Structure 1
Amino acid sequence: MKENIIKGIMTDILETKGKKSAFEVFLEGENINLKLLSGSGEVEQIRNQVFNKYLNAKNEYQSIIDNKDNINLFNRMKELETLIVQSRSIIGTVTKLSMINQNRGGSETSYIIARAPFFNPDNVKAEIRVYLGKTEEIGRTIEDLSKDTKFMDEAERQIVNAMKDVMEKRKVEVAIKKSVSIKQLVTNHGEAEEEVNGKPTNLREDPRLSPFKPGPGSNPKPKHYGIVPKKK
């Protein structure tokens, strides 16, 4: 069974306070001995030709990742990826119970917590936790509580609300609300390459489209389900 990916691509690629961007690490990941380029033999000539193309490619690559418009695009993708993975966690919450011990003021207290996979850029671990109460006061084992449907429903409710609070604090809004695909990237010459396809899909207008499988492909006539166009 396929599992939800709960971490974005741009999150690992872009620069943060603690690490360089994957772009920069890639460009700096070289170990070239320039002495191998000296000489007039056939091999040296080929290497020098390749080396010139290599430098030009690196310069163009650097100019693309340094472009302000591209940086804004990458950061926007990072925001959207975070919204997507956090939404996945809310829609398909996997809630589990655990017991943790905390030492405060020389005394140790045990707590029952609910936890679930959830990516938050501000946290190290992709997990969210909610304290449900002291183990002593609840008076039941993790195994027993996990089988209690009412208790687990309440634990899930608290987990989902905690996720919702995190998402609302980030305030990431989706700008495109209709079926539009956009491809835009600024090249090293400062020109934007863009391709837009904004034709909406309406299942009711075209009976050839299956309500269960997006796309314009033909589908067999459904027997007892799906969207059946009304006869005029």
Structure 2
Amino acid sequence: MLCESAADVEIVGEARNGAEAVRLVDDCRPDVVLMDLRMPVLDGIAATAAIVSARPATRVVALTTFDDDDHLYPALSAGACGLLTKDASPADLLDAVRRAAAGESPFSPPVLRRLVDRAVRAGGPGTPTPPAGLPELTERERDVLQHLGSGLSNGDIATLMHISVTTVKTHVASIMDKTGSRSRVQLAVLAVRHGLDCATDATADEIPNTDAR
């Protein structure tokens, strides 16, 4: 019902289990799949792996009640481009579908934060090499980068900074271009490495509840 309410999103199929999802993707060829990780017959992780193997262009966003590592990393290894917990707001869910279709990697803020912490500790592949300072960023861009480092969504950043979500997206695109980062995760890692991240717990109380949309 949520997706059908959006003029730019078309539902082309619904599956009752992972095996049916794999068959439907082959028949319907969707741009984006919202994949429940816990399903009968074939679980969401195995279904994601099968879909991405057969149709690499299809973007799979995992949905789960659990945001622990036992679900996160297997889903990403299977080829999911992002992961949202099921308590995500309606606006964030639709935003994730649009971002996935545009080639981005949408994550719920706590999930993104955990990915960033692991990447910073490991310093392995996919972790960007930070430049010597960030002299090219404007003050606004540095503020946006700081909030990205805390794992906040575009909507939350817009609320905190009293700007539109479109403006936040413009800043994010500019920061990516200036820093050579390829994803939101890399931007968040960059913020943490430069000490720009702010405590998520400290900002959470400042964000009004917008789930009523």
Normalized against structure 2, the TM-score is what?
Answer: 0.21
Which structure has the bigger radius of gyration?
1
Normalized against structure 1, the TM-score is what?
Answer: 0.20
Give the strand-richer structure, 1 or 2.
1
Give the helix-richer structure, 1 or 2.
2
